[in-house]
Amino acid sequence: MSDEPTIKQLYEKTIPSVVSVYVTDPSGDERRRGGAGSGFVYDDRHVVTNHHVVGDTDYVELRFHGGEWRTGAVVGTDPYTDLAVVDVTDLPDDAEPLPVAEGNPEPGDRVAAIGNPMGLDGTITVGYVSGTNRSNPTGTGFAIPETIQTDAAVNPGNSGGPLLTLDGTVVGVNRAKGGDNIGFAVSPVIVRRVVPALVEDGVFRPAYLNVRTVDVSPTVAEANHLDEATGVLVVDVGRESAAVLRGCDRVTRVRGREVPIGGDVVVGVDGDTIRSTEELTSYLLTATDPGDEVDLTVRRDGEEFTESVTLGERPEPGSRPRRGREGGERRRGSGRRDRRRGPGRRGPSGGHPDDGDIPIR
């Protein structure tokens, strides 16, 4: 007989630590509530949820599985990773912190999502990790890298709740439904990177290379006379990278599609191979800080060389100029989150580089 915990045992073990998150109606009418989502106990006084669940509010109402209500203060949010932290000074005695995995799960791992879908408190759904290393849009102009894909049912109201392995370890913060049998969750490596900063400082300051890129697909490789389809093509360059990198200066048509040409191709950073924008974004988010210097391996005009770039800090959502202009400086706050609302549309990013969707790193 297997010693693996059952779904029932997982539920009984973790449900006291999963909460329903309610946002008071913006009109101030206490008889009505605004949005609702989910969250989980992160440490002895903090609950983690999604940025798009709490929005711009300063306080939320939390309902625990035992029926207890608490009011929590939103002490930090990050729209770029769609994470938020709520401070609760008097957690119920049985609301134990849920451990967050140190690494990402693998496709095929069995998982369960617990939360408040459609306002139905304490709901558990079960499935598998369907994929990893996905990019998920946030409506900020940046995508969340390393997102976990699952076939466990994730519906409105599940957002902010935990995606768990059978031993009760958090391997994702649920945030989006992409379609039938496709849900997404912020990965544990992103959670472990961002949440401590939100707890300590109220903000997370991601590094910013300030370039627009597309993956080097076969079409992009053909248009740019490249030997292989790998790396990322630099389309536009902002201030942080202008002295080092060269962007595209024209477009050509390949099989009826306009393709940018003439820019550098980044194929490595700090000795790690870069095959896609997903890998570049993931490295910058998880391994670097503003002010760090990174070594980029670049291919230009058939030559390969390494150049150093000092990273900046991402601008506030909505403040980044349009394509072709320099990125603006983000205003620095002190101890309080960015007050701009988070995600717009949700679902898998998946934009093929030929679709004209040019991400910025």
Residues annotated as catalytic (active site), given as ranges: 52, 82, 159
The DSSP string of 11-25 is HHHHGGGEEEEEEE-
The amino acid present at 323, given as its one-letter code, is: R
Structure tokens belonging to residue 291? 């002010």
Q: How far apart are CA 153 and CA 236, in angstroms?
A: 39
Strand partners, 214: 233
Q: How many residues does this entry show for the chain?
A: 361
Class of residue 21 by CB neighbours under 10 A (exposed 0-12, middle 13-18, buried 19+): buried
Class of residue 285 by CB neighbours under 10 A (exposed 0-12, middle 13-18, buried 19+): buried
Q: How far apart are CA 95 and CA 90, in angstroms?
A: 10
Helical axes 188-201 vs 277-287, angle rounded to 10°: 40
Q: Where are the beta strands (DSSP E) in 33-169?
A: 33-41, 46-49, 59-64, 69-78, 83-87, 110-115, 123-137, 143-150, 162-164
CB atoms within 10 A of CB 135: 22
Dihedral sign from CA coordinates of 120, 123, 138, 40 = positive
Q: Do 209 and 311 touch, CB atoms closer than 8 A?
A: yes
Q: How far apart are CA 197 and CA 191, in angstroms?
A: 10
Q: How far apart are CA 139 and CA 81, in angstroms?
A: 11
Rounded to 5°, the CA angle 51-52-56 comes to: 75
Strand partners, 353: none
Structure tokens belonging to residue 9? 């045992």
User: What does each C-alpha distance from 37 to 18, 60, 197, 288 come to in angstroms?
Assistant: 11, 11, 22, 31
